[in-house]
Amino acid sequence: MTTFKKIWNIVSTVIVALVVLCAVFLMGSRLLGYQYYTVISGSMEPEYKVGDLLYVKKVDPSDIKIGDPITFILNEDLVVATHRVIDIDTENQRFYTKGDANDIADGDPVHFKNVIGVPQFAIPKLGYVSDFVQNPPGTYITVGVGLVLILLVFLPDMFVKKKADEPIKTQNNTTTDENEKLKEELEKLRQELSGKKQ
Protein backbone atom coordinates (compact mmCIF):
# COMPACT_ATOMS: atom_id res chain seq x y z
CA MET A 1 0.00 0.00 0.00
CA THR A 2 2.92 2.36 0.73
CA THR A 3 4.36 1.95 -2.80
CA PHE A 4 0.93 2.53 -4.33
CA LYS A 5 0.51 5.68 -2.23
CA LYS A 6 3.92 7.02 -3.32
CA ILE A 7 3.14 6.37 -6.99
CA TRP A 8 -0.31 7.92 -6.64
CA ASN A 9 1.16 11.00 -4.92
CA ILE A 10 3.56 11.52 -7.83
CA VAL A 11 0.83 11.00 -10.46
CA SER A 12 -1.68 13.28 -8.69
CA THR A 13 0.97 15.99 -8.19
CA VAL A 14 1.84 15.94 -11.91
CA ILE A 15 -1.86 16.09 -12.89
CA VAL A 16 -2.59 18.96 -10.48
CA ALA A 17 0.52 20.83 -11.73
CA LEU A 18 -0.67 20.47 -15.35
CA VAL A 19 -4.17 21.69 -14.45
CA VAL A 20 -2.72 24.68 -12.59
CA LEU A 21 -0.41 25.53 -15.52
CA CYS A 22 -3.34 25.40 -17.96
CA ALA A 23 -5.42 27.59 -15.64
CA VAL A 24 -2.57 30.11 -15.39
CA PHE A 25 -2.12 30.24 -19.17
CA LEU A 26 -5.87 30.46 -19.81
CA MET A 27 -7.12 32.64 -16.95
CA GLY A 28 -4.08 34.26 -15.34
CA SER A 29 -3.07 35.93 -18.61
CA ARG A 30 -6.15 38.18 -18.44
CA LEU A 31 -4.83 39.66 -15.20
CA LEU A 32 -1.70 40.69 -17.10
CA GLY A 33 -3.75 42.45 -19.79
CA TYR A 34 -3.68 39.71 -22.43
CA GLN A 35 -6.62 38.36 -24.37
CA TYR A 36 -6.28 34.97 -25.97
CA TYR A 37 -7.68 33.57 -29.19
CA THR A 38 -7.47 30.20 -30.87
CA VAL A 39 -6.04 30.22 -34.39
CA ILE A 40 -8.72 28.62 -36.56
CA SER A 41 -7.25 29.02 -40.05
CA GLY A 42 -3.88 28.56 -41.70
CA SER A 43 -3.77 32.08 -43.18
CA MET A 44 -0.82 33.10 -40.96
CA GLU A 45 1.24 29.91 -41.25
CA PRO A 46 4.02 29.19 -40.59
CA GLU A 47 4.11 31.85 -37.83
CA TYR A 48 0.74 30.94 -36.29
CA LYS A 49 -0.61 27.43 -36.90
CA VAL A 50 -4.15 26.11 -36.55
CA GLY A 51 -4.84 25.21 -32.91
CA ASP A 52 -2.26 27.61 -31.46
CA LEU A 53 -3.39 29.84 -28.61
CA LEU A 54 -2.53 33.44 -29.49
CA TYR A 55 -1.94 35.96 -26.70
CA VAL A 56 -2.86 39.47 -27.77
CA LYS A 57 -2.11 42.75 -25.97
CA LYS A 58 -4.00 45.97 -26.60
CA VAL A 59 -1.88 48.71 -28.18
CA ASP A 60 -2.48 52.20 -29.47
CA PRO A 61 -3.18 51.95 -33.23
CA SER A 62 -0.65 54.75 -33.83
CA ASP A 63 2.10 52.42 -32.51
CA ILE A 64 1.35 49.76 -35.14
CA LYS A 65 3.74 49.70 -38.09
CA ILE A 66 3.77 48.06 -41.50
CA GLY A 67 4.86 44.44 -41.04
CA ASP A 68 3.23 44.04 -37.61
CA PRO A 69 0.62 41.29 -37.20
CA ILE A 70 -2.64 42.59 -35.74
CA THR A 71 -5.68 40.85 -34.28
CA PHE A 72 -8.93 42.52 -35.27
CA ILE A 73 -12.69 42.13 -35.54
CA LEU A 74 -13.27 40.99 -39.10
CA ASN A 75 -17.03 41.54 -39.53
CA GLU A 76 -20.41 42.24 -37.93
CA ASP A 77 -20.57 38.64 -36.66
CA LEU A 78 -17.59 39.52 -34.42
CA VAL A 79 -15.32 37.00 -36.12
CA VAL A 80 -11.74 37.64 -35.00
CA ALA A 81 -8.77 37.36 -37.37
CA THR A 82 -5.02 37.93 -37.21
CA HIS A 83 -3.24 39.17 -40.33
CA ARG A 84 -0.16 41.25 -41.10
CA VAL A 85 -0.32 45.00 -41.83
CA ILE A 86 0.88 45.72 -45.39
CA ASP A 87 -0.19 49.38 -45.60
CA ILE A 88 -1.59 52.11 -43.34
CA ASP A 89 -4.01 54.91 -44.23
CA THR A 90 -3.59 57.20 -41.20
CA GLU A 91 -5.88 59.88 -42.61
CA ASN A 92 -8.88 57.51 -42.81
CA GLN A 93 -7.67 55.36 -39.88
CA ARG A 94 -7.43 52.15 -41.85
CA PHE A 95 -5.02 49.21 -41.91
CA TYR A 96 -4.62 47.12 -45.02
CA THR A 97 -3.83 43.51 -44.15
CA LYS A 98 -2.87 40.17 -45.64
CA GLY A 99 -2.40 36.68 -44.25
CA ASP A 100 1.18 35.42 -44.61
CA ALA A 101 -0.04 32.26 -46.35
CA ASN A 102 -2.55 34.10 -48.57
CA ASP A 103 -1.74 35.07 -52.17
CA ILE A 104 -3.78 38.27 -52.14
CA ALA A 105 -4.45 41.05 -49.64
CA ASP A 106 -7.70 41.16 -47.63
CA GLY A 107 -10.58 42.77 -49.52
CA ASP A 108 -11.66 45.12 -46.74
CA PRO A 109 -9.40 47.43 -44.74
CA VAL A 110 -9.46 47.28 -40.93
CA HIS A 111 -10.62 50.41 -39.14
CA PHE A 112 -8.46 51.47 -36.18
CA LYS A 113 -11.41 50.99 -33.79
CA ASN A 114 -11.73 47.31 -34.84
CA VAL A 115 -8.16 46.48 -33.79
CA ILE A 116 -8.06 44.31 -30.65
CA GLY A 117 -4.29 44.38 -30.33
CA VAL A 118 -0.97 42.92 -31.40
CA PRO A 119 -0.10 39.24 -30.82
CA GLN A 120 2.74 38.90 -28.30
CA PHE A 121 3.27 35.13 -28.35
CA ALA A 122 1.53 31.85 -29.15
CA ILE A 123 1.44 28.48 -27.40
CA PRO A 124 1.22 25.56 -29.87
CA LYS A 125 -1.96 23.45 -29.72
CA LEU A 126 -3.21 24.99 -26.44
CA GLY A 127 -6.07 26.53 -28.42
CA TYR A 128 -7.67 23.09 -28.73
CA VAL A 129 -7.63 22.75 -24.93
CA SER A 130 -9.03 26.28 -24.52
CA ASP A 131 -11.91 25.65 -26.94
CA PHE A 132 -12.70 22.29 -25.33
CA VAL A 133 -12.77 23.73 -21.79
CA GLN A 134 -14.87 26.78 -22.71
CA ASN A 135 -17.63 25.02 -24.66
CA PRO A 136 -20.09 22.28 -23.61
CA PRO A 137 -19.74 19.35 -23.27
CA GLY A 138 -16.05 20.07 -22.59
CA THR A 139 -16.92 22.41 -19.71
CA TYR A 140 -18.95 19.70 -17.95
CA ILE A 141 -16.30 17.06 -18.58
CA THR A 142 -13.58 19.37 -17.21
CA VAL A 143 -15.59 20.12 -14.05
CA GLY A 144 -16.33 16.39 -13.61
CA VAL A 145 -12.69 15.41 -14.08
CA GLY A 146 -11.66 18.13 -11.61
CA LEU A 147 -14.04 16.77 -8.96
CA VAL A 148 -12.83 13.20 -9.55
CA LEU A 149 -9.20 14.36 -9.21
CA ILE A 150 -9.98 16.10 -5.92
CA LEU A 151 -11.66 12.94 -4.63
CA LEU A 152 -8.78 10.75 -5.76
CA VAL A 153 -6.25 13.02 -4.08
CA PHE A 154 -8.04 12.76 -0.71
CA LEU A 155 -9.43 9.18 -0.81
CA PRO A 156 -6.12 7.33 -0.31
CA ASP A 157 -5.44 9.46 2.79
CA MET A 158 -8.88 8.60 4.18
CA PHE A 159 -8.27 4.85 3.69
CA VAL A 160 -4.80 5.02 5.23
CA LYS A 161 -6.18 6.93 8.23
CA LYS A 162 -8.95 4.40 8.70
CA LYS A 163 -6.46 1.51 8.66
CA ALA A 164 -4.23 3.37 11.10
CA ASP A 165 -7.22 3.67 13.47
CA GLU A 166 -7.98 -0.05 13.35
CA PRO A 167 -5.13 -1.27 15.63
CA ILE A 168 -6.27 1.21 18.29
CA LYS A 169 -9.79 -0.21 18.15
CA THR A 170 -8.41 -3.76 18.36
CA GLN A 171 -6.23 -2.74 21.28
CA ASN A 172 -9.26 -1.23 23.05
CA ASN A 173 -11.26 -4.39 22.42
CA THR A 174 -8.38 -6.52 23.74
CA THR A 175 -8.14 -4.36 26.85
CA THR A 176 -11.91 -4.68 27.45
CA ASP A 177 -11.71 -8.48 27.06
CA GLU A 178 -8.81 -8.67 29.51
CA ASN A 179 -10.75 -6.56 32.02
CA GLU A 180 -13.73 -8.91 31.73
CA LYS A 181 -11.48 -11.96 32.32
CA LEU A 182 -9.90 -10.31 35.34
CA LYS A 183 -13.35 -9.55 36.78
CA GLU A 184 -14.40 -13.18 36.29
CA GLU A 185 -11.23 -14.45 37.97
CA LEU A 186 -11.71 -12.03 40.86
CA GLU A 187 -15.28 -13.23 41.24
CA LYS A 188 -14.12 -16.87 41.30
CA LEU A 189 -11.48 -16.05 43.91
CA ARG A 190 -14.10 -14.34 46.08
CA GLN A 191 -16.39 -17.33 45.83
CA GLU A 192 -13.54 -19.69 46.71
CA LEU A 193 -12.56 -17.54 49.68
CA SER A 194 -16.15 -17.34 50.88
CA GLY A 195 -16.48 -21.17 50.58
CA LYS A 196 -13.33 -21.71 52.65
CA LYS A 197 -14.57 -19.38 55.38
CA GLN A 198 -17.80 -21.37 55.75
pLDDT tens per residue, range 26-51: 676 777 889 999 999 999 999 999 99
CA distance 13 to 122: 26
Determine the topology of domain 33-128 in CATH: Umud Fragment, subunit A (2.10.109)
Residue spans of the domains in the chain: they are 1-32, 33-128, 136-198
Say if residue 46 is preceded by a cis peptide, omega within 30 of 0: yes
Q: Which of 81, 91, 83, 80 is nearest to 66 (CA)?
A: 83
Q: What is the mean pLDDT of the chain?
A: 82
Contact between 120 and 55 under an 8 Å Cβ cutoff? The reply is yes
CA atoms within 13 A on the CB side of 80: 16
Residue 157: pLDDT over 70: no
Write the pLDDT tens digit of every residue in 115-156. Answer: 999 999 999 998 888 778 777 887 788 778 777 777 776 666
Residue 166 pLDDT level (bands cut at 50, 70, 90): low
> What distance in Å separates the CA atoms of residue 136 and residue 177, rounded to the nearest whole number?
60
